[in-house]
Amino acid sequence: MNVTLKVYRFNPKTDQESHYDVFTIEAEPSERILDCLNRIRWTKDSSLSFRMSCAHGICGSDGLTINGQSALACQKLIKDYDYQNEIVIEPLKYFTVIKDLIVDITPFFERLKSIAPKTQTNSVLADDKKERLQSIEERNRFDDTLKCILCGCCYGSCPVMVEQDQDFVGPAAILRAQRYIFDSRTTDENERLKIIQKPHGVWGCKSYYICTFVCPKNIKVTEAILKTKKKIIQEKQSITVTGDM
């Protein structure tokens, strides 16, 4: 059957403004969006630029905006969309476009770095002679966050980042902070909590839940952020109670 893809194009060397090219290709409903993009590049236009690597939802490099929603091109199938009409393929929102569907993800990684303490030499309780033991219950407190593949889909879909506060630290960064804050083996929990409370930090999240909806690894991102907010409030209440005693 024929499938039509309307693809965002922009080449900074030749284009003054972005535009869309329409491609009609042969594809089956069970094929992936990534398969279609490869087919376009192989048979229609070899200049089409996009990122890909593992093609199995692990590396997170092929994050795109498909019909207005962030997703991995290797995970989404033709049949997931109304393929009787055009399927619109665009780069992830929020990020600056480098070429076609490739975006500059530098801000994404800068935000991940921004939530880490300046010195992390004593961030983990360790004994060279023993394993760092942890109960199942302790591991479960942050286990979900470890599935993050840093694809940036949550940034490209977050209304706060895209429309309200471009300096917001973002869902993935808060998720990374939560991973260490709730780890029983770390010793710098309080410092990490202070960092995440800075302007444009955790309180910038408005709990739209869209990051959770688009996450390709089904991480409960908003729930993790809310747990972090609750932890901050509990710590403040604990300090207040201790000070009144």
| pLDDT tens column, 23-73 | 999 999 999 999 999 999 999 999 999 999 999 999 999 999 999 999 999
Q: Does domain 2-103 have CATH number 3.10.20.30?
A: yes
Q: How far apart are CA 1 and CA 182, in angstroms?
A: 50
- Percentage, residues of the chain above pLDDT 70: 93
- Is the pLDDT score of 123 beyond 60? no
Continuous H helices in the chain: 33-43, 106-114, 136-140, 153-157, 159, 171-181, 189-196, 210-214, 221-244
Please name the CATH architecture into which domain 106-244 falls. Answer: Orthogonal Bundle (1.10)
Q: How far apart are CA 220 and CA 209, in angstroms?
A: 9
Give the closest residue to 211 by CA, choosing from 156, 169, 143, 163.
156
Task: Report the pLDDT value the prediction gives residue 133, as an integer from 0 to 100.
Answer: 84
For the chain, give every domain's residue range: 2-103, 106-244
Mean pLDDT on 165-189: 93
Task: Report the pLDDT value the prediction gives residue 25, as an integer from 0 to 100.
Answer: 96
pLDDT band for position 7 (cuts 50, 70, 90): very high
- Is the pLDDT score of 121 beyond 60? no
Q: How far apart are CA 139 and CA 77, in angstroms?
A: 34
- Is the pLDDT score of 215 beyond 90? yes
> Which residues are within 8 A (CB) of 37 and not within 5 positions of it... i.e. 6 or more apart?
5, 7, 48, 50, 52, 73, 89, 101
Q: How far apart are CA 135 and CA 172, in angstroms?
A: 25
Write down the pTM of the prediction. Answer: 0.90
Give the closest residue to 94 by CA, choosing from 160, 142, 30.
160
Mean pLDDT of the chain: 92
Helices 189-196 and 171-181: crossing angle in degrees, nearest 10, is: 160
pLDDT band for position 4 (cuts 50, 70, 90): very high
